[in-house]
Amino acid sequence: MTQPQVLLVEDEPAIAELLRFTMQGAGFATTLAIDVQQARSQIAEALPHVVLLDWMLPDSSGLALLSELRRDPRTAALPVIMLTAKGMEEDKVRGLNEGADDYVTKPFSPKELVARVQALLRRKAPEVGSQALTYGAIMVDAERLQVSVAERPVALDQAEFKLLRFLVAHPERIFSRAQLLDKVWGDHTFIEERTVDVHIMRLRKSLGELSHYVQTVRGVGYKFSASGE
């Protein structure tokens, strides 16, 4: 099922390997880019859940990439943690000014790095975390990949599961189809908007007596709510 994806942008092989080892140990799927150009094309292909971005890269600076990401609506909210060299206080301030969500000083403690990444994801993408989420009589356990409706376990396919997990994490809010594609599937390159309707329909069916939680907002999109329209 969906594992949180972290993009590592780091040109020093030893540090890249330590980052990979640390993040995989914490349950993340990792991809590596060794310069800004690679990072750019990987992000264009699929949005990761979080980026760990080195400051000094061979072709450009991590800071330049960060400000580029912040200017693009598709990546403006992408969680980014900057990796900075020890003692570069000015860098930290500049990084945060450019829109970094957090920074970690190299050499880093693996434990601290994981804690910071998880804290950031809890803040910015709660549906990615591994804790069980509940809303009304629905419980989604992303770690065990289990869903229960009114305390009865229900089996969902992968698309329904991802969709429900997102909705449970963001109740009472209206999302357009395009937003759901972007937020649930990360990128809408490969899925058409009407596919969302199909997944919604199937999810409703799976939710049985609680199908009314998934509400259609005419002309806009969908809302997940336990209360009536």
54 binds Ca ion (CB under 5 A): yes
Smallest separation, CB 54 to Ca ion (Å): 4
91 binds Ca ion (CB under 5 A): no
The encoded tokens of residue 149 equal 């409706």
Which residues, 6+ apart, have CB-to-CB distance to 30 below 8 Å? 5, 6, 7, 8, 19, 20, 23, 24
Smallest separation, CB 61 to Ca ion (Å): 9
Smallest separation, CB 9 to Ca ion (Å): 9
Smallest separation, CB 62 to Ca ion (Å): 8
DSSP bridge pairs for 214: 224
Q: Which stretch binds Ca ion (CB under 5 A): 3-11, 24-32, 103-111, 178-186?
A: 3-11
Specify the residue, 53 or 156, whose C-beta has the smaller distance to Ca ion: 53
Total length of the chain: 229
Residue nearest to Ca ion (CB): 56
Which residues, 6+ apart, have CB-to-CB distance to 98 below 8 Å? 63, 66, 67, 70
26 binds Ca ion (CB under 5 A): no
Residue 204 region by backbone torsions, left for phi larger than 0, else alpha for psi between -120 and 50, else beta? alpha
Tell me, by CB under 5 A, how many residues bind Ca ion.
Answer: 3
Smallest separation, CB 35 to Ca ion (Å): 9
Q: Which residue has tokens 């992408």?
A: 78
56 binds Ca ion (CB under 5 A): yes
In Å, the largest CA–CA distance within the chain is: 58
Smallest separation, CB 105 to Ca ion (Å): 14
11 binds Ca ion (CB under 5 A): yes
- Tell me 220's DSSP state: T
Specify the residue, 76 or 85, whose C-beta has the smaller distance to Ca ion: 85
Which residues, 6+ apart, have CB-to-CB distance to 164 below 8 Å? 138, 140, 147, 156, 203, 207
Q: Which stretch binds Ca ion (CB under 5 A): 47-55, 100-108, 128-136, 162-170?
A: 47-55
Specify the residue, 11 or 98, whose C-beta has the smaller distance to Ca ion: 11
Q: Which residue has tokens 């080892």?
A: 21
Q: Which residues bind Ca ion (CB under 5 A)?
A: 11, 54, 56
